[in-house]
Amino acid sequence: MSIKVLRPGLLTTIQDHGRHGFQRVGLCPGGAMDPVALALANALVGNPPDEAALEVTVIGPELLFERDTLVAVCGAEFDGFPHNRPVFAAAGTRFNVGRAARGARAYIAVAGGFAVEPVLGSRSTYLPGHFGGFQGRALKHGDVLPLRDSAAAKRFATLRKTHDGTVKWSVPPGTLPDREPILVHVIEGQHFASFDSNSQRAFFDTVWRVAPDSNRMGFRLSGPPLGRPQADEILSGPTCLGSVQVPPSGVPIALMADHQTTGGYPRIAEIASADVARLAQLAPGGKVHFAKCSLEIAGELRKHAREHIESALRGIAWEYHK
């Protein structure tokens, strides 16, 4: 009743929609960097959208399925691998996920989900605190991941007879970049006006690159240093997923899933919530360009993103029940 990890990949962790309600004691929600891909992968195997799945980073794992089950991979795409559709994995199947050809993070959902205990209401792995997910850490060679039972796996047992174990339909990918630089919408941050006019312009004119020392806490952005004419200290205050803060080095940092909940650096911008998942699909070296938008437009983008997910979920439900 389990999956054996033959090769862990670069950074493979169990993630769901995160643990909420603890930001006031300094614990960020965490969870999947690309919750859209997580929701789709789950729906494809008959799970609730916020079930825990494996978050794969750039280089995927090699997994051995020790029983018949249904699997789906959404988000980043890997060559020679069926994406965005349910795949029947018979007992003894080896799943070798190589290097991402497009995107940076994929979600491997398994029918029934992983049988790990929730911590503070979530199965997400919080690496800095060493808790949640599988033993509070990234997967290692030899780990055996327990699975829960699922009726959905049986629904597609007929896929066993097909030559590749999958269906002919798929859901459209929601968050993968067609080309780079990707366009990410932001509203001005609280301290935008305190940056000098060159920095204000440069923020929107520059094609930024995701720096190699980026991680689940934050993406450092390589480009021209940004400055403030009066480099006064600002009072530490709350931050948010998608806040772009600028420490004295002038290198902007976009706060990602495992971000600190408060910060004392000026915030030049706040990324529209719908675009954070798209930014999460950039690997180090990936290019991003920021465009200013209003709060209303950010809300519209969110609405469109949700409509995309809902229509995909309806399509999947239809395939399951026809």
**Minimum CB distance to other proteins smaller for 82 or for 128:** 128
Please name which of 273, 226, 262 lies closest in space to residue 247, comparing C-alpha atoms: 226
**Nearest approach, Cβ of residue 22 and other proteins (Å):** 7
What separation in angstroms does the CA of 34 have from each of 10, 147, 256, 282?
17, 22, 10, 11
**Nearest approach, Cβ of residue 151 and other proteins (Å):** 26
DSSP state of 111: T
**Minimum CB distance to other proteins smaller for 129 or for 146:** 129
Mode of pairing for the β-strands spanning 62-65 and 94-96? antiparallel
**Nearest approach, Cβ of residue 159 and other proteins (Å):** 31
**Nearest approach, Cβ of residue 59 and other proteins (Å):** 28
The total of other beta-carbon atoms located within 10 Å of residue 116's CB is 17
**Minimum CB distance to other proteins smaller for 56 or for 275:** 275
**Going by C-beta distance under 8 Å and a sequence separation of 6 or more, which residues neighbour residue 90?**
65, 68, 160, 165
CA distance 50 to 171: 17
**Minimum CB distance to other proteins smaller for 21 or for 212:** 21
Please name which of 137, 120, 110 lies closest in space to residue 52, comparing C-alpha atoms: 110
**Minimum CB distance to other proteins smaller for 22 or for 320:** 22
**Nearest approach, Cβ of residue 273 and other proteins (Å):** 5
**Minimum CB distance to other proteins smaller for 212 or for 238:** 238
Q: For 135, phi and psi rounded to 5 degrees?
A: 55, 25
List residues binding other proteins (CB under 8 A): 20-27, 29, 119-120, 126, 128-129, 131-132, 186-187, 190, 234-243, 260-263, 270-273, 295, 298-299, 302, 306
**Nearest approach, Cβ of residue 267 and other proteins (Å):** 8
**Minimum CB distance to other proteins smaller for 146 or for 237:** 237
| 3-state helix vs strand vs coil in the chain, percent to 5 | 20, 30, 50
**Nearest approach, Cβ of residue 315 and other proteins (Å):** 19
**Structure token pair of residue 39:** 């929701």
